[in-house]
Structure 1
Amino acid sequence: MKITDIRVTHVNVPFDAPFWWTAGLYGGASKSIVEVETDEGLVGLGEAPWWHFGEVIKAEIAPALIGADPLDLADCEARCVPPWQITANTGENAASVAFGAVELALWDIRGKAFGLPLYKLLGGAVRKDIPFSEYFAFRPQQDGAGGEMSPEAIVDYCLRMRAEHGSSIFEGKLILGDPELEIRTVRMLREALGAGVQLKLDSNMQWSLTTARWVLREIEPFNIRNYEDPVASFEEMAALRQHSRIPFSTHVPDLRRAVALGAPDTFVCNFAALGGLSRTLKFIAACEAMGKGFWCYSNDLGIMTAAYLHVVAATPWITEASQSLFRWQVGDVIEDGPFRQQNDTVRVPEGPGLGVALDDGAMKRWAAHFAENGPMNHFTDPASPGRYRRLPLN
């Protein structure tokens, strides 16, 4: 089998309402959808974590892979990705991330070639119902959606998600630069939701170490399951660990530093950002050996989410719920998408490969959205147009 073509399509998928994070208002996802065609008629699907990696695929990765055997992952990677020691040293890791998106499509081809779902290629399922958290945040109102701009509204939203969807795992960003607001909202959430519900937080590095010490001291009695990136560095997390028992997670995949410093406790990663599924499996194995946790990223579309489902299904070490923004996505590029959890879980697909198929109409719609509007801006600060925020906020 040979690769005959690689197509890249940029798409936007907005949220029903934007949410506040440390860098401003976050309105949705801009991704590159990858289709790898073969001379045997099989097409593999991949997804890049941000659209500009799709440009790298078109310019560098696709020309290198035409004619390659899609089942020979080592050869394909050697055609596209320089030695990681060099790219890590120079910061030129775009090729690794871009290849990671394509490599996902190669795994999809492999599953289709053997007629097996991806989780069976990875050794079989230890679970079929995969846990995901429900998400909350301060969200301005937009076209009848959102409007959760107070602690009371956040509490009402979470209670509604529990009543309508059986949600009992909640993760959220309480990011308006006001530590007292976060403390009050956490207290109200715990009182309203009760002791049996998981509460996780994510500040996207908004707090200074001094403020983080105060905030975590005040919220620790409310049984916080995890706090993601409360401060901006591993060194600050290690210092914060001296004052708090709350576990920490991060999107920064530096395992050596985390082990040396003792913090953070868990990595939350996108598979393409780690260089592909093969490298992700090695990273998870290293996390297990070093006693560090792992779960999956949020704000991905259905192709990457399907990969998360299969890997978590086949990986005993991943026991905690992964992040999700499913409820806010107004669409997807896959048939019957987006995935949405019920009673905290999503069922792993049983079709060959990733087990998902593109929705041609949705692809056209969201590609047109990108073409007409450009990529979604994650850094919009209405208070300072044309300027980027600086950390920490407090």
Structure 2
Amino acid sequence: MKITAIRATPVNIPLEAPYLWSYGSLAGFSKTIVEVETSDGLVGLGEGPSPANAAVIANSFAPRLIGRDPIDIQACETLCLPSWRGVYTDVDFASIRAFGAIEMALWDLRGKAWGRSLSDLFGGRVRDAITFTDYFAFREARDGVGGESDPQAVLDYCLGQRERFGTTMFEGKLSTADPKPSIETLALLREGLGPEAVLRIDSNKAYSLATATRIAQAIEPLGIRSWEDPVATFEDMAKLRRHTAIPFSVHTPDLRRAVALGVPDAFCTDVNVHGGIGRTLKFIAACEQMGLDFWCYSGDSGIASSVYLHLAAAFDHIREPSQSLFHMQPFDVIEEGPLRPRNNLVPVPTGPGIGVTLSPDRLAFCHRHFVDNGPFNKFHDPDRPDRFRRLPLS
């Protein structure tokens, strides 16, 4: 079996309404969907975190990989990436993330060729359904959806999610320039959802150490399960640890610094940041050895999200719920999507490989949205659209 074609398609995956975060307003996500076709007629699916991945894959990786054995993933990586071992100044992270999309498709092909699911390839399942948090945030209104602009509206939204979908695990933004509305929202959520509800928060590095210290003192009695990126650096996080017992999580996969500094307590990443599934498996195993939790990212299509399902199914160490924006995503590129948790759970796909089916019509719709509107600007500030925000906000 040989690789005969590689297609990389940039797409937009809109949210039903833009949500507010530390950098501004986010209306959706722009990705690259990858198809790797073989001489046996199999097609492997992958996903890259940026539309810029498409050019790297088409111009650099595809010419090197056509005619190669898709099962030999290590050889494919050697053809595409120079040696790298971690977070250093000489690392080309754009290429690493783009190759992660290719590598995902190669794992999908391996599963399809052998008739086994990804979780089987990872060693077998310890669970058949995976827990996810449901997201909340202050949101702008769009087409009659969203518009939660005060704490009561956010509570009403979360109560509605609990009523409709049985959600009892929530994660949301604590990143307003004045932290008071965010703190009031958390207090109202804890009162309205009850003591058993899981509440995690994400500040996206919005705050200085001094402000984060004041916030921690206000929210610690609320039983916060985890606080993601409260400050900008691991070093400031270590100082913040002196003032609160709230566990911290980050997206930056620097395990060495985490072990040296004693923070964070958990990593939340996608597969691409590690350069693919194979390196992610090693990272999760290292987290387990170091006693650090791991869970998966949000904001992806059903392709990458289903990979997260298989990872959590195969690793008993992934004990905490992963992130999801599933109920805020009205569109997907797979036939089985958008994924919809019920009672916090999403079933793990049972088919070979990743176990999902690319929809040509949905892929075309999301690609057309990208062509017509351009990529989503994750850093658009509705208050000052002519310039970018600078952190910390407070």
Counterpart in the other structure of 2:141:
141
CA distance in 1, matches of 2:160, 2:330: 19
CA distance in 2, matches of 1:29, 1:183: 27
CA distance in 1, matches of 2:235, 2:385: 32
Question: One-letter code of the match for 1:293?
Answer: D
**Deviations along 1:328-364, whole A, 9 cap, x unmatched?**
1120000031111000010000011000011111111
Question: One-letter code of the match for 2:197?
Answer: V
The reply to whether residue 77 of structure 1 matches residue 77 of structure 2 is yes
CA distance in 2, matches of 1:176, 1:290: 33
Counterpart in the other structure of 2:340:
340
8 Å Cα contact 2:168-2:343 kept in structure 1: yes
Partner-residue secondary structure (3-state), 1:40: coil
Counterpart in the other structure of 1:330:
330
Partner-residue secondary structure (3-state), 1:224: coil
CA distance in 2, matches of 1:344, 1:61: 38
**Deviations along 1:190-239, whole A, 9 cap, x unmatched?**
00010110000001000110000000111000100000000010001000
Partner-residue secondary structure (3-state), 1:47: strand
Tell me the CA shift for residue 176 of structure 1: 2.3
8 Å Cα contact 1:138-1:174 kept in structure 2: no
Partner-residue secondary structure (3-state), 1:90: coil
**Deviations along 1:77-121, whole A, 9 cap, x unmatched?**
100010114983324222211111100000000010011111111
Gapped regions of structure 1 (runs ≥ 5): none
Question: What does 1:358-373 align with in structure 2 at a 5 Å threshold?
Answer: 358-373=358-373
Question: One-letter code of the match for 1:367?
Answer: H
Question: What does 1:142-157 align with in structure 2 at a 5 Å threshold?
Answer: 142-157=142-157
4+ runs deviating over 2 angstroms = 85-89
Partner-residue secondary structure (3-state), 1:238: helix
CA distance in 1, matches of 2:320, 2:54: 31
Counterpart in the other structure of 1:217:
217
CA distance in 2, matches of 1:79, 1:87: 21
The reply to whether residue 26 of structure 1 matches residue 26 of structure 2 is yes
Give the TM-score normalised by the residue count of structure 2: 0.98
Question: What does 1:185-334 align with in structure 2 at a 5 Å threshold?
Answer: 185-334=185-334
Residue 226 and residue 281 in structure 1: after superposition, are their counterparts in 2 closer, same or farther (change >3 A)? same
CA distance in 1, matches of 2:134, 2:154: 12
Question: One-letter code of the match for 2:186?
Answer: V
Partner-residue secondary structure (3-state), 1:77: helix
CA distance in 1, matches of 2:330, 2:268: 24
Question: What does 1:157-196 align with in structure 2 at a 5 Å threshold?
Answer: 157-196=157-196
Give the aligned CA root-mean-square deviation in angstroms.
Answer: 1.0
8 Å Cα contact 1:71-1:106 kept in structure 2: yes
Tell me the CA shift for residue 60 of structure 1: 1.0
Percent identical among aligned pairs is: 54
8 Å Cα contact 1:138-1:175 kept in structure 2: no
Tell me the CA shift for residue 174 of structure 1: 3.1
Partner-residue secondary structure (3-state), 2:92: coil
Question: One-letter code of the match for 1:327?
Answer: H
Partner-residue secondary structure (3-state), 1:263: coil
8 Å Cα contact 1:29-1:376 kept in structure 2: yes
CA distance in 2, matches of 1:242, 1:146: 37
CA distance in 1, matches of 2:135, 2:49: 19
Partner-residue secondary structure (3-state), 1:20: strand
Tell me the CA shift for residue 167 of structure 1: 0.4
CA distance in 1, matches of 2:84, 2:94: 11
Partner-residue secondary structure (3-state), 1:19: strand
8 Å Cα contact 1:220-1:246 kept in structure 2: yes
8 Å Cα contact 1:130-1:309 kept in structure 2: yes
Question: One-letter code of the match for 2:132?
Answer: F
CA distance in 1, matches of 2:251, 2:241: 18
After superposing the two structures, state which structure 1 stretch, 112-121 or 240-249, moved more: 112-121
Partner-residue secondary structure (3-state), 1:281: helix
After superposing the two structures, state which structure 1 stretch, 47-56 or 199-208, moved more: 47-56
Tell me the CA shift for residue 178 of structure 1: 1.5
Gapped regions of structure 2 (runs ≥ 5): none
Tell me the CA shift for residue 124 of structure 1: 0.7
CA distance in 1, matches of 2:61, 2:270: 19
8 Å Cα contact 2:201-2:228 kept in structure 1: yes
Residue 86 and residue 347 in structure 1: after superposition, are their counterparts in 2 closer, same or farther (change >3 A)? closer
CA distance in 2, matches of 1:89, 1:390: 23
CA distance in 2, matches of 1:161, 1:258: 35
CA distance in 1, matches of 2:44, 2:287: 29
CA distance in 1, matches of 2:65, 2:210: 50
CA distance in 2, matches of 1:180, 1:295: 28
Question: One-letter code of the match for 1:100?
Answer: G
CA distance in 2, matches of 1:54, 1:263: 35
CA distance in 1, matches of 2:293, 2:86: 27
Residue 292 and residue 86 in structure 1: after superposition, are their counterparts in 2 closer, same or farther (change >3 A)? closer
